Structure 1
Amino acid sequence: MRMITANTETIHIYHTNDIHSHFENWPGISEYLLNQRAHHKQIGESCFVFDLGDYVDRSHPFTEATEGKGNIGLLNRAGYDAVTIGNNEGITLSHSALAQLYEHAQFDVVVANLLDENGEQLDWAVPYTAFTTSSGLKVSVIAATAEYELFYKKLGWTIQEPRSILRELASQLRNTSDCVICLSHLGVHEDRLLAQETSDIDVILGAHTHHLFVHGELVGETLLAATGKFGQYVGHVTLTVQNKQVIGKRAEVILADELEAGEDEVYAIQKMIDEGTKALDEEVFMTPTILKQNLFGKSPLSEFFGQALLAYTKADCGLFNAGIFLGSLPEGIVTKRDLHRVLPHPINACILTVKGQALRDYYIESCHPDWPRTEVRGLGFRGTLMGIMIHENFTMKHDDLFVNGKLVDPLADYKLATLDMFTFGFFYPNMKFEKIDYIAPEMLRDIAAWYGKSYFGTTS
């Protein structure tokens, strides 16, 4: 065994981020992390394993069926020490599902800028935690997640501006800690700003913007590290501490494709996933015919969903893209699995209150000829192409816009039901300035399920 000298110690930190329920490489990652921990323990070095959030993603059947609890079982199996939450944990789960998500976690959940609805500390997470190495060094861990205020408020949480909180925590802990690590689900821009604003944080492990630092990035004296997305890499940070001062920092990434897992690990993880997805076989409603999709035109499926959207939101008209449908719904029994397969996106509907003139502008924008074949990435979208835009209950005739067959008054208010991804400023820049009421926690498939039960009837 390699002995630690009286005044020098090496600390190893392994980290993952933005896995998004991509489990292709997970058996190899899991076994690698367990083996590395055992290796470092054998030679007398300290080792910690952290996840930076968005490990849960409801686009995967396993996550959907278990409401993310299955994911926590996988993190337990891999021996994680602490995690923070990403927006996929925070705003795609209902209040009760998030409150119960970590009830069987065998690691610390750290997030400093999220409180309950009354502004009180969470009972399932802490603003910071601390670990002690074998030689007695104290490693403090702080964390924060991205500030999606409207969504968190809608779901019954209080979210706060993160950087000021992290700076204050780091300042306090610096006096009692030998090393301060930040688990950040804020994005690379925020991480760089944080590193510029304080020298009290030794390492910022980053996420959210899916950035990759192969050898880390130094901002002042702070090391930034990140591993991209989808479990493509595992991060490894090595700290050298001498006389309780961090004198060396090094970051690297390990290509997960090259991590091999034994048959037992592969089998155990696949068994967990297979058993976890069984809940999706629940029958939801019956259809008399196939509800077919059509990426480049209206379809029975888009008609069904358009009617569902207006019925659920009670809006005057609706706007969504045909690319949200990743398949057709079968004739006969429709299960939760069918709905999840067709609408896997962690996307919420929303209601915009807009003037008639703005509604006309959005209609014209939506008819851009390049949009149907435009590739869409991020924003919760889990398809590939935008597809044609579907206009539900409003249409243009001879340069005039009609809603429910009536000529639109440019100065009157109208309720437009659409998808939250259109309100973030990328496709319709002005939508983010409208009055927006986000529908949460219901996903698009939940709206389809509700309407299917009402319109077609249940299977029982």
Structure 2
Amino acid sequence: MREKIHFFHTNDLHSHFTYWKRSQYFIEATRKMLAELGETSFLVDLGDHLDRSNLYTEATLGQGNIKMLNDAHYDVVTLGNNEGITLAHDELYHLYDDAQFEVVIGNLFSAQQKNPQWMKPYTILTTQYGTKIAVLAATASFEVFYKELGWEVTTPRAEIIKWAYALKNEVDVIVCLSHLGITEDELLAQECPIIDVIFGSHTHHVFENGRIENGVLLTGGGKFGQFTGHLILEFNHATKKLEKKSDRLYENALLPEASGETEWLLDIQQQAKQMLAQPVFYAAKFYNKEWFHRSQLSDLFAECMYEYTNADCVMFNAGIFVESLKKGFVSKYDIHKILPHPINVCVVHITGAELKEIFVQSENKDWPRLELKGLGFRGVIFGKMLNYGITMNHERELFINGVPVNAEQEYRLATLDLFTFGFFFPRFKYAKKEYFLPQFLRDIFIEYCVKEFA
């Protein structure tokens, strides 16, 4: 007997709900049809389903996302970095308490207490014909962030390989839900070819029909709800072997619109607005934002950064302000529209010589109009890099608050965590750093304004 087994898969939604309803309607209708044919199907998500740049996710701290996954009858999900490092420890610990699906993550452990009951290193799915499928999963190792938040994250490939070999004699098929990125998936396929399928995510790569690497089928479903994936496995019960595996992506924008789709999107937006509408402070005047030079809003935010970190100097990009700060009563909803990013403050310890190098790099004339994607940035364009407390004269001598910089002395530069990944300033990647977690930029800005405008 040859059995067809189906997996529908989603990944990296980042709370982009535009096509969520039509995608789930397509999956539900197809699964119903397959069930009538006597074929088993499963539904999995590969993480980064939530993103706190979305108002509904912010207002519910991800619980609204879990309700969506429940309503859509998911079977197994794993965590992405947006679940893992954008919530406080207690918020993540209880995120899946009401989940009606299995949560699999093999390389994350609470450093403060026993792991929550929902957290499992693997699960085994069984088809109606008795075929056993081991589902393993791991998430990207943002070690410094997890440690600050009270979690321990271990080497993902090592954990997956350990469980794959531990379970290989108990199951017929092994699949992995990977929130590691394409490079890690390729390495995993090379190191552990007993895995049959690696469902891929995190780097937002797109494989329209999957890709074979060392006999392992890799998938990639893009980002932001662009695609719904449909994997088909053909298992031969006589030989106990998986004889065929294939994957296909369906573009969600081209699927038929689901009934009530627009009304549902408006409803969750309205729910979020109401939940965040309570005023938190009163601004006596209007603070403008500018993307190509300093503004009243950037000056206010720089003062906030100084007070919060007690740093020697401050640096951030003007593009983080999506809107201006209005005069009058200001709510969390208003501040979220200004600073929607899941970005944290970081203090970097660097010498005066290094600071001079960073200052020169920050004057890059190509950056202000850059349409930055990722790294936590959720704005429109990068904007000018703004330096507070740092100046350079015509003789290219650097000063901090009017005092000449000592090339050998160590200074504390307050900046945004997105700059510490090495993309803009490679030196930051290896410098000593202090991350301020779990508060986002909007959280510390609200706290500052509440005191400032009291």
What TM-score, normalized to structure 1? 0.95
**Residue 383 (structure 1) aligns with:** 379
Shift of 1:263: 2.3
**Residue 157 (structure 1) aligns with:** 151
Change (3 A) 1:321 1:269: closer
Change (3 A) 1:233 1:102: same
CA contact (8 A) 2:322 2:380 kept: no
Shift of 1:394: 1.9
CA contact (8 A) 1:30 1:77 kept: no
**Secondary structure of the residue that 1:372 maps to in structure 2?**
coil
Shift of 1:172: 1.3
**Secondary structure of the residue that 2:415 maps to in structure 1?**
strand
**Residue 296 (structure 2) aligns with:** 300
**Residue 431 (structure 1) aligns with:** 428
**Residue 369 (structure 2) aligns with:** 373
**Residue 319 (structure 2) aligns with:** 323
**Residue 443 (structure 2) aligns with:** 446
Change (3 A) 1:120 1:30: same
Shift of 1:35: 1.4
- Give the unaligned 5+ runs of structure 2: none
Shift of 1:299: 0.2
CA contact (8 A) 1:115 1:122 kept: no
- Give the unaligned 5+ runs of structure 1: 1-6
Query: Does residue 78 of structure 2 align to residue 84 of structure 1?
Result: yes
**Residue 170 (structure 2) aligns with:** 176
Query: Does residue 351 of structure 2 align to residue 355 of structure 1?
Result: yes
**Residue 251 (structure 1) aligns with:** 247
Structure 1, residues 249-297: CA drift from partner, whole Å, max 9, x if none? 0110011012224424654565345324421112111111111100111
**Secondary structure of the residue that 1:281 maps to in structure 2?**
coil
The 5 Å alignment of 1:10-49 reads 10-49=4-43
CA contact (8 A) 1:33 1:79 kept: no
**Residue 422 (structure 1) aligns with:** 419
Code of the residue aligned with 2:313 in structure 1: it is: C
Query: Does residue 333 of structure 2 align to residue 337 of structure 1?
Result: yes
Q: Supply the distance in 1 between the matched residues of 2:344 and 2:245 (Cα, whole angstroms).
A: 41
CA contact (8 A) 2:369 2:383 kept: yes
**Residue 131 (structure 1) aligns with:** 125
Q: Supply the distance in 1 between the matched residues of 2:49 and 2:320 (Cα, whole angstroms).
A: 23
Structure 1, residues 380-424: CA drift from partner, whole Å, max 9, x if none? 111132111111122122322221222211111111000111111
**Residue 342 (structure 2) aligns with:** 346
Q: Supply the distance in 2 between the matched residues of 1:262 and 1:215 (Cα, whole angstroms).
A: 25
Q: Supply the distance in 1 between the matched residues of 2:15 and 2:158 (Cα, whole angstroms).
A: 31
Code of the residue aligned with 1:45 in structure 2: it is: E
Q: Supply the distance in 1 between the matched residues of 2:355 and 2:265 (Cα, whole angstroms).
A: 49
Q: Supply the distance in 2 between the matched residues of 1:393 and 1:179 (Cα, whole angstroms).
A: 59
CA contact (8 A) 2:94 2:116 kept: no
More moved, 58-67 vs 277-286:
277-286
CA contact (8 A) 1:27 1:266 kept: no
**Residue 204 (structure 1) aligns with:** 198
Structure 1, residues 289-319: CA drift from partner, whole Å, max 9, x if none? 1111001110000001111011111111100
**Secondary structure of the residue that 1:291 maps to in structure 2?**
coil
CA contact (8 A) 2:348 2:431 kept: yes
**Residue 398 (structure 2) aligns with:** 401
Q: Supply the distance in 1 between the matched residues of 2:303 and 2:248 (Cα, whole angstroms).
A: 51
Q: Supply the distance in 2 between the matched residues of 1:110 and 1:266 (Cα, whole angstroms).
A: 32
Code of the residue aligned with 2:70 in structure 1: it is: N
**Secondary structure of the residue that 2:82 maps to in structure 1?**
helix
Q: Supply the distance in 1 between the matched residues of 2:170 and 2:73 (Cα, whole angstroms).
A: 26
Shift of 1:144: 0.2
**Secondary structure of the residue that 1:263 maps to in structure 2?**
coil
What TM-score, normalized to structure 2? 0.97
One of 381, 392, 412 as aligned partner of 2:388: 392
Superposition RMSD in Å: 1.4
CA contact (8 A) 1:239 1:246 kept: yes
Q: Supply the distance in 1 between the matched residues of 2:120 and 2:262 (Cα, whole angstroms).
A: 33
CA contact (8 A) 1:70 1:272 kept: no
One of 182, 186, 191 as aligned partner of 2:185: 191
Q: Supply the distance in 1 between the matched residues of 2:442 and 2:86 (Cα, whole angstroms).
A: 13
The 5 Å alignment of 1:65-104 reads 65-104=59-98
**Residue 3 (structure 1) aligns with:** none
Code of the residue aligned with 1:407 in structure 2: it is: P
Code of the residue aligned with 1:444 in structure 2: it is: L
**Secondary structure of the residue that 2:347 maps to in structure 1?**
strand
CA contact (8 A) 1:70 1:276 kept: no
Structure 1, residues 185-236: CA drift from partner, whole Å, max 9, x if none? 0000000110111122111000000000001000122111111011111001
Shift of 1:368: 1.8
Q: Supply the distance in 2 between the matched residues of 1:265 and 1:325 (Cα, whole angstroms).
A: 31
Change (3 A) 1:377 1:422: same
CA contact (8 A) 2:181 2:202 kept: yes
**Secondary structure of the residue that 1:438 maps to in structure 2?**
strand
Change (3 A) 1:373 1:270: closer
Q: Supply the distance in 1 between the matched residues of 2:355 and 2:143 (Cα, whole angstroms).
A: 26
The 5 Å alignment of 1:274-313 reads 274-313=270-309
CA contact (8 A) 2:17 2:265 kept: no
